Structure 1
Amino acid sequence: MLLLKQPFFQGNPISFSQRRLCIMVIACFLLTNAFVTRAFVDINFGKFWQAVARHGGKVDAGRQAGLEGMFNEAQNLPESKQLLLVNAYFRDNVTYKTDDIVWKQSDYWASPAEFLAKELGDCEDYAIAKYIFLLKLGVAEEKLRLIYVKAKVGGRRSTVTQAHMVLGYYETPTSQPMILDSLISEVLPARQRTDLIPVFSFNSMGIWSPGQKKSSGSPSARLSRWRNVLDKISSEGITVTS
């Protein structure tokens, strides 16, 4: 905690306006850091690839270099470029298939290691893996949300919908999110995705209904599949700390 002590003002005399400015700066620092919570992700690539192999995936030098090379390339880029690189990685290395084909279940949320082992997965698997990888690159958790939507089948004029999940990136708390989707290759702002109707969104910090600023609860308490994913990744070389 940053404490304002008397010696801070001792030494060369400062004016009342300078003192007031110092107090305002420190107050802003304290308020900003009181409300910003970040999840930090670390990946032990040795353990991660062991987990991929354990789940039946192919592990060779080319795959390892491809993933680690993507992280190295993206590490110091602007977040807008990081979104594109992570989105492109999964576009190029995984094929969309539904859970009934991949897992013989109606709904299964795979960990990133399971996802890359199968090289197949559905919308939740894409969204979760992109979320974890962007956290690894240092994107603040409050900028990322997994968003449950109703996707209009056949285009924006369709009245037929199906459950779907995408990843949203919010540059600022009031920004329209950029949408990373498993069904299209582009990363587009939400205003251009009129085929998607939001139902709720979540990350490790909370869960939100559309338009709400306050979280309505703990996602790990309310979403058993999310809790299961977090349990799985902890044994697969991925550490998430808040």
Structure 2
Amino acid sequence: MRSLPLAMLCLLLAGTAQASRMSDYLAQPALQQKMEEVYGKGSVQRAKALAQLMAPRAGISDQQKLSLVNNYFNNLTYSEDPKLWGEQDYWANPLEFIGARGGDCEDYSIAKYYTLMELGVDEKKLRMAYVKALAYNQFHMVVLYFATPKSEPLVLDNIKATIQPGSKRTDLLPVYSFDAKSLWIMKSRREGTLAGSADRLAQWKSMQTRFSTEHLRSPRRAL
């Protein structure tokens, strides 16, 4: 989380529709070697744990997938971008996030979003959302899951570990939400007005170009 002017938040990201095959990357010896070089031996064990989480499971429900993914990533350490990456606003890809063993709210949300799609959750059911965390008076990012287009969303968050319906999260004020293709200005905790393409959001687009061993960034400090 961080305090940011709302006008800046609406210009930060950009997106494409194709999720990277994290499970394939995690199984590659070359990637594991590179992660060890950049982040240390512990990162390889975290990568293997994530690969195990993404292994096919017969009959697993979306709700179970949400819990598995939320719990895995919420065990990582929260750290603000200037301290971890030496930048005011850096959106780590999931490999950088597990490599560094932590990050901020955008990093938690991005990693959860991609991993849920890897597990077969329909992309149409998932969004990332910028909200205002009222208790902290700061802007914050979470993942929303809609069982149906008209359903109340469930909120996956790193502030509160328990997955709850949006109506229970009165501590969060919706601002806007997005997926890989579209951007919505939120009118309520359940509904939003389509505001155009997610290509307006530049940090999102930048993050999606960094899914390779050539772009595993070393953190400024170890967590």
Matched, 1:79 2:62: yes
Q: Quick check: 1:52–1:59 contact (8 Å CA) kept in 2?
A: no
TM-score when scaled to structure 2?
0.77
Q: Quick check: 2:43–2:98 contact (8 Å CA) kept in 1?
A: no
Q: Give the aligned partner of residue 122 of structure 1.
A: 104
Alpha-carbon distance, 1:57 to partner = 4.2
Q: Give the aligned partner of residue 42 of structure 1.
A: 21
| One-letter identity of the residue aligned with 2:142 | V
Matched ranges for 1:149-228 at <5 A: 149-153=131-135, 161-211=137-187, 215-219=194-198, 221-228=199-206
Distance 1:191 1:118, change over 3 A: same
Residue by residue over 1:161-189, the C-alpha shift from the partner in whole angstroms, topping out at 9 and shown as x without a partner, is 21100010111111111101011111111
Matched, 1:142 2:142: no
Runs of 5+ in structure 2 lacking a partner? 1-16, 215-223
Whole-angstrom distance in 2 between the partners of 1:148 and 1:60: 28
Runs of 5+ in structure 1 lacking a partner? 1-37, 155-160, 238-242
Q: Quick check: 1:99–1:122 contact (8 Å CA) kept in 2?
A: yes
Q: Give the aligned partner of residue 68 of structure 1.
A: 51
Residue by residue over 1:76-113, the C-alpha shift from the partner in whole angstroms, topping out at 9 and shown as x without a partner, is 41000000000111122x11111121112221111111
TM-score when scaled to structure 1?
0.71
Q: Quick check: 1:58–1:117 contact (8 Å CA) kept in 2?
A: no
Select between 133-142 and 75-84 the one with higher mean Cα deviation. Answer: 75-84
CA radius of gyration, larger in? 1
| One-letter identity of the residue aligned with 1:134 | L
**How many residue pairs end up in the alignment?**
191
Higher relative contact order (Cα pairs below 8 Å, separated by 6+ residues):
2
Whole-angstrom distance in 1 between the partners of 2:37 and 2:206: 18
Residue by residue over 1:128-163, the C-alpha shift from the partner in whole angstroms, topping out at 9 and shown as x without a partner, is 000000010111111110100011126xxxxxx211
Q: In percent, how many aligned pairs have the same letter?
A: 37
What root-mean-square deviation, in Å, do the aligned CA atoms of Structure 1 and Structure 2 show? 2.3
Q: Give the aligned partner of residue 221 of structure 2.
A: none
Q: Which has the higher helix share?
A: 1
Q: Give the aligned partner of residue 6 of structure 1.
A: none
